[in-house]
Amino acid sequence: MDKITIPTSFNIELEFETAEFHKRLFAWLIDLAMMIAYWLVAYRLLAGVISNNGSEHAEMNNYALYTVLVATPPLLYHLVCEMVMNGQSIGKKLMGLKVISETGGRPAIHQLLLRWLLRLADFGFTFCTGGLLSSLLTRKHQRLGDMAAGTIVIKTKQPYHLGQTIFFEVADNYQLRYPAVMKLSDRDMNVIKTILDNCYKSGNYAFAARTADKIRTVLSINEYTDDVEFLETLLKDYNYLAAKG
C-alpha cells in the first residue's frame, strides 16, 4: 500500500494512503453499472412517452427528449457526483475512495472539470489503456486526468486529512482572544481543524501539542493555555473575525 505525505505550514507532514488499483477498478465498475442502469430505465420510460407522442414535430421532440433525459446524465455523472459529493461518486463512496487536490484539500471546480474532460484520453481514445497504465505506473497512481488536474485518489479512512470545513460555532457575545490569528490562512486553519478532529477520535494529543507550540512561535503568543483549548480558541477567533468581514 503506497503512502504520500503533504507538508503543512506548521512543518508537520500529514500522511495519505493512495487508493489501490483494484478498488479504483471496482469503483469504476460500480459507477458504470449505475450509468447503464440509469440509461436502461430512462430509455424504457422515454419509449413509453414516444409511443404516446402523436404530434407533427414528434421526431424532433423525441430527439430532444433522448438527449436531455437519456444521453446527457450518464455523460455528466462523474463530474456532477464529484462536485456535489466532495470528490466522490457512488462507486468511490462505496469503495471508500475520494478525489483530493495534490495540496491535500478539496479539488477546485476547474480541477474536477479538467479531470472529467480527460476521461476521453483515459478511457475513450485509448480504449482504457491510458488510464490503466498511468494508474499502475505513476508514483501517486494517477491517471492522465489526475496528473493534468493536479488531483489524487485516496482512501477516505486516513490517519489525517485536509479539506474539512473550518467552521467552528461561536456565541453571539463571543470575546476575541487572539486577533493575530488572521495572519494564518484558510489552509492553516484546515490543518488545525483536522488535527483537532483526529485528536478527539484517537485520544493522541501529540500533534496538537506540536502544532500549538509552532503557532505560538509564529504568532508571537507568550500566553500558555491547554494545547487543545488553544487550538479551539484560534478556530473560534478565526470564525469570529471572518464573519465580521
Residues in a beta bridge with 37? none
**71 and 146 in one domain?**
yes
DSSP state, 57? T
The DSSP bridge pattern shows strands 97-101 and 13-17 to be: unpaired
- Please tell me the pTM assigned to this model: 0.62
147 — pLDDT class (breaks 50, 70, 90) = very high
pLDDT tens for each residue of 89-111: 999 999 999 998 887 777 889 99
Residues in a beta bridge with 13? 7
**127 and 22 in one domain?**
yes
Is 174 within the bounds of a domain? no
End-to-end CA distance of the chain: 44
Is 42 within the bounds of a domain? yes
- Taking residues 228-237, what's their average pLDDT? 90
Domains contained in the chain, number: 2
Tell me the HSE value of 244 on the side-chain side, using a 13 A CA sphere: 13
Torsion angles phi and psi, residue 201, rounded to 5: -75, -45
Burial, 138: exposed, middle or buried (Cβ in 10 Å; 0-12, 13-18, 19+)? middle
Q: How far apart are CA 4 and CA 161, in angstroms?
A: 12
Is 165 within the bounds of a domain? no
**87 and 128 in one domain?**
yes
Which segment, 95-99, 120-124, 136-140, is predicted with the most confidence on average?
95-99
**41 and 118 in one domain?**
yes
160 — pLDDT class (breaks 50, 70, 90) = very low
Q: Is the pLDDT of residue 158 over 90?
A: no
**151 and 91 in one domain?**
yes
The CA distances from residue 149 to 49, 96, 198, 231, in Å, are: 41, 21, 28, 33
Is 20 within the bounds of a domain? yes
**126 and 190 in one domain?**
no
The CA distances from residue 120 to 96, 117, 123, in Å, are: 25, 6, 5
By the 8 A CB rule, do 208 and 228 touch?
yes
**130 and 227 in one domain?**
no
**115 and 74 in one domain?**
yes
pLDDT at residue number 57 = 52
pLDDT tens for each residue of 32-62: 999 999 999 888 887 776 666 555 455 556 6
What is the percent of the chain where pLDDT is above 70?
Answer: 82
Burial, 31: exposed, middle or buried (Cβ in 10 Å; 0-12, 13-18, 19+)? buried
Q: Which of 155, 187, 222 is the last residue of a domain?
A: 155
pLDDT at residue number 75 = 92
Helix residue spans in 52-181 (DSSP H)? 58-65, 72-84, 90-95, 109-117, 119, 129-137, 144-149
**68 and 107 in one domain?**
yes
**205 and 143 in one domain?**
no
**194 and 135 in one domain?**
no
Is 128 within the bounds of a domain? yes
By the 8 A CB rule, do 205 and 183 touch?
no
pLDDT at residue number 128 = 80
Note down the domain range covering 142: 3-155
**212 and 99 in one domain?**
no
